[in-house]
Amino acid sequence: MNNFIFNNPTKIIFGRNTIIQIGEELKKLGIYKVLFLYGGNSIKNNGTYEQVRNSLINHNIEFIEHSGVQPNPILTHTEIGIDLCKENGVTAILAVGGGSVIDEAKAIAAGAYLPNLWDAYAGKVKVTQALPIFTILTISGTGSEMNGSSVLTNSETEQKWFISAHCLFPKISIINPSVMRTLPWNQTVNGGIDAISHTLENYVMGKDQEISISIQESIFKSIISALDNLQIDKNNYESRASLAWASTIALNGIAGAGMGGGDWAVHRIEHALSAIRPDIAHGTGLAIIFPAYLKFVYEFNKVHLDRFAKNVWNCDSFEEAIETMKAKYKSWGSAISLSELNIEENQFSAIAKKALEQTEIGKLKNLSNEDVIEILKIAF
């Protein structure tokens, strides 16, 4: 077990009929003016918008709306949000949506105190101050509702980079699994595969951290079974709830405790891929790259990855487990190869260069440019 600090300050309010509590929670904290941030129309179509609006009005909380957050949120839209905060004197951000909306909320919250927000994503300045963030989660997967990270894309430079800071943990996140029943199936799958991948980023570093490894194996199994059930019945509340909570604990510090911070090479490669092709959902990119990465690093943690094969996929060999994992992802409708997304082999070196642009990557094996290209070839 590696040394670790666990300090997660986010209060979670989980379950049915919880969204209407937002007004009262904000009022208790003395917050009376928020930036109400959301994406497209999904929150209007499933009744979430109406519930949030009524709750804010009933508790005399003023709100400035900022809609149109894109999946894979971008810097320019964030900057408009920062200006809105400054012009209107808002004292908190309320994000209603998925990882993209929450990540942009964190960016706006930090940007309210910085002369140049992108400098923080570029690692030139540290984020030490932010407006308080509140979230209402409508799609599970990223874990952003209970962590201090934010991923943002600078479309001009095609860089998808991240920041992490303690002040970016949401103060309160409301998770009502019922609102997730309106998700298109592919979005439910993307979220589930994202959470499996967060767990894997830690799992690959496994050695003797039995408690964390056991929690991770439970997360894998819970998500696989929840997605199998939801494929048959999208209204299965218990499976939605299990998927949502498994996704939250996959990246809130609990499952990764003692794992030395995890590996995270696959996420960096995927961020490079979706920086070049923003139409590729994060979960889809991970579904393609992770099996290839596991094959590539197998020799560096054989015993543990054999355990993964047996305990998670019920397979006698690692090779068989990877094929079973890919077949499972495919059965959920996910793409499992880069060629399905019309990525060409001549784009590999640009993706590799981008993946290695911010810092070096890979803890289990420090990856060179050629290594990343090799992984992309396996994923092709």
Contact footprint for ligand NZQ (CB under 6 A) = 39-43, 46, 71-72, 97-101, 103, 138-139, 141-144, 147, 149-151, 179-180, 182-183, 187, 190-191, 194, 251, 267, 282
Q: Are strands 149-154 and 133-137 parallel, antiparallel or unpaired?
A: unpaired
At closest approach, how far in Å is the CB of 162 from ligand NZQ? 7
The pair of three-digit structure tokens given for residue 206, joined into one six-digit string = 């496994």
The pair of three-digit structure tokens given for residue 81, joined into one six-digit string = 């949000």
At closest approach, how far in Å is the CB of 191 from ligand NZQ? 5
At closest approach, how far in Å is the CB of 317 from ligand NZQ? 29
DSSP-assigned beta bridge partners for residue 93: 35, 133
At closest approach, how far in Å is the CB of 60 from ligand NZQ? 27
Q: Which does 81 bind (CB under 5 to 8 A by kind): Zn ion, ligand NZQ, none?
A: none
E strand intervals along 123-186: 133-137, 149-154, 159-164, 172-175
Of the pair 138, 301, the CB lying nearest ligand NZQ is at 138
Question: What count of other Cβ atoms lies within 10 Å of the Cβ of residue 235?
Answer: 9
Of the pair 191, 206, the CB lying nearest Zn ion is at 191
Of the pair 138, 334, the CB lying nearest ligand NZQ is at 138
Q: Which does 187 bind (CB under 5 to 8 A by kind): ligand NZQ, Zn ion, none?
A: ligand NZQ
| Surface-to-core class of residue 282, CB atoms within 10 Å of its CB (0-12 exposed, 13-18 middle, 19+ buried) | buried
Radius of gyration for the alpha carbons in the chain, expressed in angstroms and rounded: 20
DSSP-assigned beta bridge partners for residue 175: 14, 137
Rounded Cα distance between 179 and 19, Å, is 10
* Angle CA 198–202–208, to nearest 5: 150
Residue 103 found at the interface with Zn ion (CB under 5 A): no
DSSP-assigned beta bridge partners for residue 92: 34
At closest approach, how far in Å is the CB of 363 from ligand NZQ? 16
Do 37 and 69 meet the contact criterion of CB atoms below 8 Å apart? yes
Of the pair 66, 106, the CB lying nearest Zn ion is at 106
At closest approach, how far in Å is the CB of 45 from ligand NZQ? 7
At closest approach, how far in Å is the CB of 226 from Zn ion? 17
Question: Which helix or strand (DSSP H or E) is residue 183 part of?
Answer: none
x-or-dash pattern for Zn ion, window 179-218, by CB under 5 A? Answer: ---------------x------------------------
Of the pair 72, 91, the CB lying nearest ligand NZQ is at 72
Rounded Cα distance between 76 and 180, Å, is 28
Q: Which does 143 bind (CB under 5 to 8 A by kind): ligand NZQ, Zn ion, none?
A: ligand NZQ
Of the pair 183, 364, the CB lying nearest ligand NZQ is at 183
Of the pair 136, 315, the CB lying nearest ligand NZQ is at 136
Q: CA of 27: how far to CAs of 21, 33, 62, 203, in Å?
A: 10, 10, 11, 41
Rounded Cα distance between 295 and 297, Å, is 6
Q: Which does 67 bind (CB under 5 to 8 A by kind): ligand NZQ, Zn ion, none?
A: none
At closest approach, how far in Å is the CB of 150 from Zn ion? 12
Question: Which helix or strand (DSSP H or E) is residue 62 part of?
Answer: strand 62-66
Which residues of the shown chain bind Zn ion in the complex (CB under 5 A)?
A: 194
